[in-house]
Amino acid sequence: MFSKIFISLAVLAASVAAVVPSVSKRTTCSGGQTTANAACCVWFDVLDDIQENLFHGGQCGEDAHESLRLTFHDAIAFSPALTAAGQFGCWYALHIDMPIVSMLHVTADGSIMAHTSEELADPANNGLDDIIEFQRPFALKHNVSFGDFIQFAGAVGVSNCNGGPQISFFAGRSNDSQPAPHGLVPLPSDDVTTILNRVGDAGFSTVELVWLLISHTVGAQDKVDDSIPGTPFDSTPSDFDAQFFVETLLNGTITPGNGIRPGEALSPYPGEFRLQSDFLIARDNRTSCEWQKMISNRANMLARFEGVMQKLSLLGFNQSALTDCSDVIPTATGTVADPFIPAGLSTDDIQAACSSTPFPTVSVLGGAVTTIPAV
């Protein structure tokens, strides 16, 4: 009887083994790191180089912030509507003094680094010249494409921030690109409908616009008001927290620079900058409730950002044609505080805009108003 049971169990185990796939074998790279694909080994060398020499020892500083910004500006110039209308060729002929070219989707392909002079002529890309010129030599040194490098550097840079996200990275883009037409990157002076229409053309929904703006929790401005470069969008620019979503809803009373510039709204706190587009999106009835959700559930905020950034990085690409090298991206460390109202302000300063859900309960810091230092 026992022998029959043993034989039956052995047959069952063999059957289970036949239907459960084996664990994929990992590759050991020359530096001792392991990865799911040998083609990803080069990215460990890139990682070591940029952590030391681009991000100054793995800091969440200005170069990390600008690298994250660059991922969006390179990728969002994607317009199926413009391509379908047959307007790309006409645009090039009229605006860049170039011959009509074949129809190509302009995507996260590194075109902003390959055709810098053309793309930086678009006012929306103002201020990106420094980070592009800083990054380009790394891509050339390691013989990786501009499109791959931009997405990789953005994912690595934001992983240096306290409590940062784990952004996926897919490699294999070529350096074959065309300059992106002007007007496809939203401006901070645009109204909400214009911005929603633009990102909608690129394939993003209304709530996904809010998820893309999670990046502003570690953001700062340089060129909207170039007299105060490095002015952050919230009081915790090195923390990947929900503070940006709280502080954007505070009543604005301060001009941090010398007068209000196009694309700027009044700031709630000394040393903090507020983009007009952020101010409006936080209060628009199409986006305000999703904005408020980012405050009440940080785990949800992280998951939404990781998902929408993967989508952004793959615009115009077939994911199966690229190599998943996400295991090269470092895991963020550090902790962040729960959302709060900065010292010297109160819940009375919140301009809650979501009519269907009460504003979440947040703590109020004690003490006097202070000035937020530049990034």
Q: What's the pLDDT score for residue 84?
A: 62
- Six-digit token string for 87: 């307007």
Query: Is 216 annotated as a binding-site member?
Result: yes
Q: What's the pLDDT score for residue 263?
A: 97
Query: Is 116 annotated as a binding-site member?
Result: no
H-run or E-run covering 89: helix 88-95
Query: Is 130 annotated as a binding-site member?
Result: no
Residue 94, in any domain of the structure: yes
Residue 290, in any domain of the structure: yes
Residue 5, in any domain of the structure: no
Instruction: Name which of 309, 225, 227 is nearest 274 in CA terms.
Output: 225
Residue 26, in any domain of the structure: no
Residue 22, in any domain of the structure: no
Alpha-carbon span 179 to 128, nearest angstrom: 15
- Six-digit token string for 161: 């921030």
Query: Is 361 annotated as a binding-site member?
Result: no
Q: Please give the positions annotated as active site.
A: 73
Query: Is 222 annotated as a binding-site member?
Result: no
Query: Is 234 annotated as a binding-site member?
Result: yes
In three-state secondary structure terms, 36 is: coil
Residue 332, in any domain of the structure: yes
Q: Which residues of 147-161 are buried (b: 16+ CB within 10 A; e: fewer)?
A: bbbbbbbbbbbbbbb
CA separation (Å) from 198 to 201, 209, 324?
A: 5, 10, 29
Quote the number of domains for the chain.
1
Residue 14, in any domain of the structure: no
Q: Which residues of 316-325 are buried (b: 16+ CB within 10 A; e: fewer)?
A: bbeeeebbbb
Give the predicted TM-score (pTM) of the model. Answer: 0.88
Residue 265, domain extent: 36-364
Residue 84, in any domain of the structure: yes
* Torsion from C-alpha of 174, 177, 183, 186, nearest 10 degrees: 10
Q: What's the pLDDT score for residue 106?
A: 57
CATH code of 209's domain: 1.10.520.10
Is there a contact between 250 and 372 (Cβ–Cβ < 8 Å)?
no
Q: What's the pLDDT score for residue 140?
A: 98
Q: What is the pLDDT along the chain (375 residues), one digit of tens a residue?
A: 434 433 343 444 444 344 444 345 789 998 899 998 999 999 999 999 999 999 999 999 999 999 999 999 999 998 888 866 555 444 443 444 433 333 444 588 999 999 999 999 999 999 999 999 999 999 999 999 999 999 999 999 999 999 999 999 999 999 999 999 999 999 999 999 999 999 999 999 999 999 999 999 999 999 999 999 999 999 999 999 999 999 999 999 999 999 999 999 999 999 999 999 999 999 999 999 999 999 999 999 999 999 999 999 999 899 999 999 999 999 999 999 999 999 999 999 999 999 999 999 999 999 999 999 999
Q: What's the pLDDT score for residue 259?
A: 93
Q: What's the pLDDT score for residue 282?
A: 98
Q: What's the pLDDT score for residue 11?
A: 40
